[in-house]
Amino acid sequence: MASSSSSKHRKIGEEEEEEDEEEDTVEEFEVFDDFTIASSWERFISDIEASCRQWLADGSKNLVEKGAESLGRYKNLYRVKKELKYGGKTYSMEFNFVKPVTARASCWDDDLHNMQLSFGVDDFLVIAPQSANGVVLDDPESTKLLSSVAIALSNCGSNWPAFVPVHDPSRKAYNGIQNMGANFTRRFEADRIATQVPIRLMHLEGLYELFVSKFVLSTTDFSTNYFKVQFAMRLSYETPPYDYNQEEILESEIDDSVETETSASSRIKKQWDEDCPWTEWYSAEDPIRGFDLVAIWRSRTIEGSLEMAELENTSSFDAEHWLLSPIVSQDMVDDSIAKFVGFAPQIGLLISALDASFEAQFLEDFVAAENTGLDNSKSTANVPPPSVLDRVLKELFQDGTSSSANVEVENRNSRAVKGAPLQSLFAQFCLHALWFGNCNIRAIAVLWIDFVREIRWYWEESEPLPRVPGNGTIDLSSCILHQKLQMLAICIERKRSRENDQSFFDCEKEDENSSNKVKVQKDLLTGPSIDNIDSSSKHEYFKTETELAKSSDQKKVDKTRRGSAGVVRSMMLLNSFEEMHAPYTQSAPLMTEDMHEERLHAVEALGNTMGSGQLEKDILSSDMSAFKAANPNAVFEDFIRWHSPGDWETEGSSINKLNWPPKGRLSQRMSEHGNMWRKIWNESPAMPISEQKPLLDPVREGEKIMHYLETLRPQQLLEQMVCTAFRACADILNQTSYGGFKLMKTKMDQLYLTLGSSLKSLQGNQHDKDELIGDLKQLCTVFEHIEKLVILAASISRKLADTPRLSEAIFTDYFNFYLPKMGTGLTSICYDKEFDSKQEVKMRERDAVAGMFPPPTANQSWRKVLSMGNLLNGHEPTQREIIFSVNDAVSNGHYGSKISVNGDEDVETYRMYICGTSNDLWAALSVTSWD
């Protein structure tokens, strides 16, 4: 029993084990999707087919939405990839397809991929091994790959062409195949001859014969003497370098034994931008290296090789289309290639100096940085030698230099930037500081200290300050430093007048021929008004010149009247019945913006009742004293009638000797008890301005300005330097002549507004340093973009001066291309495309464009004996592209038959694309056959 029991248990255990084995077997077989696949090659085909089916199912629209890769410059072409494994190797299969609802491009469209142009296809597959060279070097391997893809595509019902790169990568060789349905198959082949191109293949006749040989030798019914071949050609020319005649110059030097200095100097190579406004500070690299000219012959029918020979000798002017595009330096697009030379990088250094200026209280601390606890990087900063410093100061303080010299046309928005005008002394200082050393804080401190020392010499010697007018007004829209220098120049001028014992205010002895004195006299006639009465309204009271002359004679008789500027028309003194005389009055003292602010703060602190404020009192007292001197018998009401007519309420409309004095009274504010004006009137002595103390003390004010300049904090100096540097550099760029480019002009206007709004933060006393420096660096990046565009616009307009329409169209294309880059980011945008826009050249513009191709001399053209033909002013094409094709109406199972069963179908049976030069030839052939 025991044995039988154990046997029973053993059977049960064996049955369980068998069931487990069956389950494992089932599970093992369940991992296979298709039991018919017997080899790795069939699995490879299945993987290709699965990917293609997925791409077909998604369609181009969904593939784009799922993130298909855009191929950069080919804006209508996208790509998806799939990685496949076979035979121990990894392959990459790429499906390239055109954007949905995109019209088929013409054969010479720039948006065509090289594969599309070469083989005349739209969507296409490329399969290649993932290796260093990415090509298949083994013929059996390439055949197997093409066969695999062809089978997979046939199973999918797709007619996509498929290509495999073969041979050495330098040959750019391909093999390909395309299933065109049940009737036709297209096969593709491409290869390259990089050296020793046969002479016959340099010419159109030989290339035509090469193409014809591809189907004449095949078994067709074509006649060997007569073919209708469709022909299209594109020739590319590149303008020669602008020093193209250098070889001729060297040759002439050998021939000429005697040479004059004039002829030698005439051969000195000139910079392209020598007449541009920025060349005083730097020389810009020409952003336009040249131009590409494309001449296109559209499709035409060729019936023999002789016709091709004639076409090769045809002038390029006979081409149907001319397209011109500039060769733009890559530095204009990619900031990582080379450092841009211009104002923007130097302003960036100035901003870094501003960042460092917060570390010390005095500029002298940076000069002697090695003796302080400042950062060592500042102490070792580069400072030019004394000779350079002396040269810069000499240029800044040139004798006879004034702000009126070289007056430029100022942009209407320039004053939005609170800096100094371009030709002013401080603006020139800032421009020199940009290039002084490496524009570090130490170099700036050294330059500023000597700059102020030089200004002190002009002040102490009472010499006119260069580049700052001494007889103007204070420009309150400029920075404080420029206003201070304007005030100092005025103080120097008035100080000189005192020292020469020629009183500035003695109007009785002034020179009648002095235009400046005449202007002062006119201003003094009106007299200053604390109520801001319009000066023109006061002129209505004055008599004619004849009456003034009579009153002048009367003044000579009147020994008590002093400082009279003339009789006031239709006004008489209330008590004495005498004619009223207008006195010479002192002009209100000029003030800088900070002086105005100090006065306002004082008024706010003391109250604003009845026009309080010491300055207003001094001006009013001076006017009252002058009025009393000119009108000895005047009363307070007479002064109010002249100085502030609004405070005299008249009841009668005319002056009548029989009814005198006229009825009228003071206004309520002037008649109040304790009125400040009446108090000042009572205290003011009768005194003409020639005897009065000047309202502006030039010595006191000048010393205050010198103290300001000598004790200016580094941060305050650098903030004003940054604003002025931005404005001055923008003003220089604004002087650039670039034709009528409206987009550039608009961008310059926008730049000024951007600078004005962005630099306002520098005018406030409270701001976060890190945020401020970051914003300024962003602004510097924006400025660099505009500067590059200005330089490019100048280059284009000069090279295409005779074709303004064409030059503006090319600039507009580049502007739109560059526009996405012109943001405010600190990092450069990475571009995955190149500027390749072309503009159609009108027939009337072809002569001007051809002028950019000067005929080469004999010494320059000896190497071009084996040229390709189709020369343009003696220059051969840099590249020639040709498309030959033969179409045939095929049907009934044979493309050579003219008998149709279901109607004729026009099929491109042979197509050859040829691209190259006289020493580099690449050809791509596609043949349609019946399989």
Burial-class residue 601 by CB neighbours within 10 Å (0-12, 13-18, 19+).
exposed
Triad 814, 819, 824: Cα angle to 5°: 145
Other Cβ atoms less than 10 A from the Cβ of 306: the count is 11
In this predicted structure, what is the pLDDT of residue 35? 52
User: If you write DSSP's letter for every residue of 245-309 in order, what string do you get?
Assistant: THHHHHHHHHH-S---HHHHHHTSPPPTTTTSGGGGT--PPPSEEEEEEEEEEEEEEE--HHHHH
**Band (492; pLDDT cuts 50, 70, 90):** very high
**Band (16; pLDDT cuts 50, 70, 90):** very low
Residue 344 φ/ψ, nearest 5 degrees? -55, -50
Segment 369-376 long-range contacts (CB within 8 Å, at least 24 positions apart): 369/442
β-pairing, 579-583 vs 920-930, is unpaired
Residues 780 and 729: their CA atoms lie apart, in Å, by 11
Within 8 A by CB and 6+ apart from 846, the residues are 317, 322
The residue-averaged pLDDT of 18-41 equals: 55
To which H or E segment does residue 546 belong?
helix 545-557
Please indicate, yes or no, whether the overall pTM of this predicted structure exceeds 0.85: no
The amino acid sitting at 83 is E
The answer, yes or no, to whether residue 12 has pLDDT greater than 60, is no
Burial-class residue 99 by CB neighbours within 10 Å (0-12, 13-18, 19+).
middle
Give yes or no for a contact between 315 and 873, defined as CB atoms under 8 angstroms apart.
Answer: no
The amino acid sitting at 6 is S
The amino acid sitting at 441 is I
The answer, yes or no, to whether residue 52 has pLDDT greater than 90, is yes
Burial-class residue 642 by CB neighbours within 10 Å (0-12, 13-18, 19+).
buried
Segment among 56-60, 523-527, 825-829, 840-844 with least mean pLDDT: 523-527
Give yes or no for a contact between 861 and 853, defined as CB atoms under 8 angstroms apart.
Answer: no
3-state SS of the chain: helix, strand, coil percent to 5?
Answer: 45, 15, 35
Residue with structure tokens 């201070």?
A: 484
The answer, yes or no, to whether residue 550 has pLDDT greater than 70, is no
**Band (81; pLDDT cuts 50, 70, 90):** very high
The answer, yes or no, to whether residue 852 has pLDDT greater than 60, is yes
Residues 626 and 645: their CA atoms lie apart, in Å, by 18
Residue 189 φ/ψ, nearest 5 degrees? -155, 135
pLDDT digits (tens, 9 = 90+) for 188-201: 999 998 878 888 88
Residues 860 and 55: their CA atoms lie apart, in Å, by 55
Query: What is the longest distance spanned by two Cα atoms in the chain?
Result: 169
What tokens appear for 803 in the block? 């074709």
What tokens appear for 714 in the block? 């580094």
Give yes or no for a contact between 367 and 446, defined as CB atoms under 8 angstroms apart.
Answer: yes
pLDDT digits (tens, 9 = 90+) for 391-421: 999 999 986 554 443 444 567 889 899 999 9
Residues 81 and 69: their CA atoms lie apart, in Å, by 9
Higher pLDDT among residues 833 and 520, named by residue: 833
Higher pLDDT among residues 661 and 435, named by residue: 435
pLDDT digits (tens, 9 = 90+) for 739-794: 889 999 999 999 999 999 999 988 766 678 889 999 999 999 999 999 999 999 99
**Band (523; pLDDT cuts 50, 70, 90):** very low
The residue-averaged pLDDT of 847-853 equals: 93
The answer, yes or no, to whether residue 599 has pLDDT greater than 50, is yes
The residue-averaged pLDDT of 381-398 equals: 92
Give yes or no for a contact between 930 and 907, defined as CB atoms under 8 angstroms apart.
Answer: no
Residues 210 and 702: their CA atoms lie apart, in Å, by 90
Segment among 50-64, 581-595, 755-769 with least mean pLDDT: 755-769
Residue 58 φ/ψ, nearest 5 degrees? -70, -40
The residue-averaged pLDDT of 248-271 equals: 46
The answer, yes or no, to whether residue 253 has pLDDT greater than 50, is no
In this predicted structure, what is the pLDDT of residue 182? 66
Considering only CA atoms, give the Rg of the chain: 45
What tokens appear for 850 in the block? 């051809």
Residues 738 and 745: their CA atoms lie apart, in Å, by 9
692: nearest Cα among 563, 508, 852: 563
What tokens appear for 696 in the block? 């502006």
The residue-averaged pLDDT of 271-292 equals: 92
Segment among 322-336, 385-399, 751-765, 817-831 with least mean pLDDT: 817-831
Within 8 A by CB and 6+ apart from 539, the residues are 525, 526
DSSP letter (8 states) at residue 222: -
In this predicted structure, what is the pLDDT of residue 610? 43
Residues 224 and 286: their CA atoms lie apart, in Å, by 55
The answer, yes or no, to whether residue 839 has pLDDT greater than 80, is yes
DSSP letter (8 states) at residue 740: B
589: nearest Cα among 698, 477, 480: 698
Give yes or no for a contact between 393 and 450, defined as CB atoms under 8 angstroms apart.
Answer: yes
Within 774-919, strands assigned E span 839-840, 879-890, 905-917
Residues 474 and 593: their CA atoms lie apart, in Å, by 9
Residues 354 and 916: their CA atoms lie apart, in Å, by 56
The answer, yes or no, to whether residue 289 has pLDDT greater than 60, is yes
Residues forming a β-bridge with 579? 572
Segment 170-178 long-range contacts (CB within 8 Å, at least 24 positions apart): 170/194, 172/922, 173/135, 174/115, 174/924, 175/142, 175/146, 176/119, 176/146, 177/146, 177/149, 177/150, 178/121
Residue with structure tokens 């904090």?
A: 713
β-pairing, 905-917 vs 879-890, is antiparallel
The answer, yes or no, to whether residue 126 has pLDDT greater than 50, is yes
What tokens appear for 658 in the block? 């029989």
pLDDT digits (tens, 9 = 90+) for 652-671: 655 555 566 777 889 988 98
Give yes or no for a contact between 794 and 734, defined as CB atoms under 8 angstroms apart.
Answer: no
In this predicted structure, what is the pLDDT of residue 490? 92
Residues 304 and 225: their CA atoms lie apart, in Å, by 8
User: What is the share, in percent, of the chain residues with pLDDT greater than 70?
Assistant: 75
To which H or E segment does residue 450 belong?
helix 441-460
For residue 254, CA distances in Å to 183, 244, 249, 258 come to 71, 18, 9, 10
The answer, yes or no, to whether residue 717 has pLDDT greater than 90, is yes
User: If you write DSSP's letter for every residue of 129-161 in order, what string do you get?
Assistant: ESSSS-SB--HHHHHHHHHHHHHHHHHHT----
Give yes or no for a contact between 44 and 84, defined as CB atoms under 8 angstroms apart.
Answer: yes
What tokens appear for 433 in the block? 């500081």
**Band (558; pLDDT cuts 50, 70, 90):** low
Burial-class residue 748 by CB neighbours within 10 Å (0-12, 13-18, 19+).
buried
Residues 807 and 793: their CA atoms lie apart, in Å, by 9
Give yes or no for a contact between 726 and 346, defined as CB atoms under 8 angstroms apart.
Answer: no
Q: Name the average pLDDT for the chain.
A: 80
Residues 544 and 566: their CA atoms lie apart, in Å, by 10
The answer, yes or no, to whether residue 141 has pLDDT greater than 70, is yes
What tokens appear for 805 in the block? 């329409």
Residues 477 and 490: their CA atoms lie apart, in Å, by 18
